Structures are given as structure tokens and as C-alpha cells.
Amino acid sequence: MAVALLIRGGMPYGIAMLLAVLMGVACGVLNSFVVTILGIVPFIATLGTNYLLRGIILLVMNGIPISGLDPDFGWIGNGRIGDVLPYPVIWMSVVVVVMAVILRKMRLGRDIFAIGSNEQAAFLSGVDVKKTKWLVYLASGTLCGIAGVILTSRLSSAAPTACEGYDTT
């Protein structure tokens, strides 16, 4: 919704996309704060912020989708290299490679696995659990912001009810 609102308001595509991704980062910061500082269980915290933000979007937009975005914006989600390789596949491949390197070759990846296996044991082993959680939630928010931009570009529209039910599947 953010990127669609900004583009509809006349903002250049690049700035609108950057601001939308930064809104994803802000959501990651919010979730990280709720989990690491307030100590709320991650499932409840992320589900709660999801419903809170969905409610705000529904109020702001009155449940009305934005459609008919400029076709020039659609290249991010609909473009192809040749007639074979869609850009979203390239974006996903880059994310997969980067995350595979982080998870398999870097200390951060080992720390993430350690926290996921046993948070208390990871802490006792010297893992900075709070810092690692902050980084994971920031990465998650950033990737959600990027995914939102790609989806909006692909559909040339944004609906306040988009992706409903994804949180329960």
C-alpha cells in the first residue's frame, strides 16, 4: 500500500520504492522491539503487529484498493530477461544466495541456528541473543518491504486486504 500511495501521489518510483522498503524495516524494528525489549512471545508479537498494521491500513484506505498504477512501474514485477527469466525470479535468487551464504558461512548464521535450537544454550555459549534477534527481525522487515514492492509492481495495484490469510498458512 505504501508504494502505491506514494506513486499515486506523484513521487518518483525510486524514492517511493525506497520509502516502502524503509517502512518494512520500520515494521521489523517494531517487531524486534516488542519481542526483545517487551519480552512478548514472537508468535503473538508478530501476529499482533500484523493485525494492528492491517487495521490502520483499512482505516486509512477505507478498504478501497489502489489500481491502475503507471505501467512503467510494472517492469520490476513483470519484466524479463529475454523471454525466459522473470525479474522476480532473479530477485528471489539473489535473496536465496545471500541468505544461504549468511546462514552457512557466517557467524551470524550459526548464531541464528543456535538461537532457534535452544535460546538459553545459545546465550550460555556466548551468543548475543538480543542483537541477533534484532538483525533477524530487521532482515525480515526489509525482505517484506521488498516483496511488497515487487507484488505491487507485478499486479499494478495494491489492496488493503492483499495477502490476507498468509499468516495462518
Angle (CA) 152 154 158, round 5°: 25
What CA dihedral angle connects 169, 146, 28 and 167, to 10 degrees? -10
Q: Is 55 exposed, middle or buried, given 0-12, 13-18 or 19+ CB atoms closer than 10 A?
A: exposed
The residue type of 53 is: L
Distance from C-alpha of 71 to C-alpha of 66, rounded to nearest angstrom: 14
The residues, ordered by sequence, that sit 6+ positions from 155 with a Cβ below 8 Å of its Cβ are 77
Q: If DSSP codes are grouped into helix, strand and coil, which group holds residue 62?
A: coil
Q: What is the pLDDT of residues 94-125, one digit of tens each?
A: 999 999 999 999 999 999 999 999 999 999 99
pTM score, whole prediction: 0.88
**Cβ contact 150:91 at 8 Å:** yes
Higher pLDDT, residue 153 or 162: 153
Q: What percentage of the chain carries pLDDT values higher than 90?
A: 69
Query: In this model, does residue 35 exceed pLDDT 80?
Result: yes
Q: Is 34 within 8 Å of 45 (Cβ atoms)?
A: yes
Q: Write the burial class of residue 156 (CB in 10 Å: 0-12 exposed, 13-18 middle, 19+ buried).
A: middle
pLDDT at 106: 96
At 168 the pLDDT is 64
